[in-house]
Structure 1
Amino acid sequence: MDILASLAPIILMFVIFYFLLIRPQQKKQKQVRQMQSDLKKGDKIITIGGMHGTVHALDEGTLVLTTQDGTKITYDRSAVRDVISQD
């Protein structure tokens, strides 16, 4: 029983660490993966590099963005940071 009492603060610290740091990060990663898999043609997005564009075409792992001046650029789906609007 003394061993359990001496380990209780360490165990409590790991539980707090899990709920404050690890679990929220896993939820955020799950939301990002869901957002990237839900992309469709016509969505206006921002990439992790700051490029603003509209999704022109989708492939399994890549997408083609069209910028305001009509330039088409190919990116990985994982490079999408945020969806501004969905059409």
Structure 2
Amino acid sequence: MESIGQFIPLILIFAIMWFLLIRPQQKKMKEHKAMVDAVRKGDQVITQGGMIGKITKVKDADEVEIEIASGVKVRQVKSTIAQVLSKTEPADS
């Protein structure tokens, strides 16, 4: 019975760490994945490297083409998109 009592503080510390650190980080990662999956042609984005540009093409499952200046296009991995500045309206079907 005493051995269980010794583990209670350890269990409480783990529970506190879960609710203060791990759970919010998982939620943030899930939101970022949803944002990245929803990008489409015409969206203006900021990459993790600090480049601001407009998506000109969504290639494969994990790659986009971003125009950072007139006629200058770069290929980026979708997961490096840090923020979507402006969304385009969905195309009418």
TM-score normalised by L of structure 2: 0.88
Structure 1, gaps ≥5 residues long? none
In 2, the alpha carbon distance for the partners of 1:72 and 1:8 equals 57
How far, CA to CA, are the matches of 1:80 and 1:53 in structure 2?
Answer: 10
> Which residue matches 1:82?
83
Aligned to 1:62: 63
RMSD: 0.9
Q: Distance in 1 between matches of 2:6 and 2:64?
A: 54
Distance 1:79 1:35 in 2: 12
User: Aligned-pair distance for 1:63?
Assistant: 0.4
Q: Secondary structure at the match of 2:69?
A: coil
TM-score where L is the length of structure 1: 0.94
2:76 and 2:56 mapped to 1: Cα distance? Answer: 11
Q: Which runs of 5+ in 2 are unaligned?
A: 89-93
Q: Percent identity?
A: 37
In the comparison of the two structures, how many residue pairs are matched?
Answer: 87
**Aligned partner of residue 3 in structure 1, secondary structure:** helix
Q: Which runs of 4+ in 1 moved over 4 A?
A: none
Q: CA deviation at 1:68?
A: 3.3
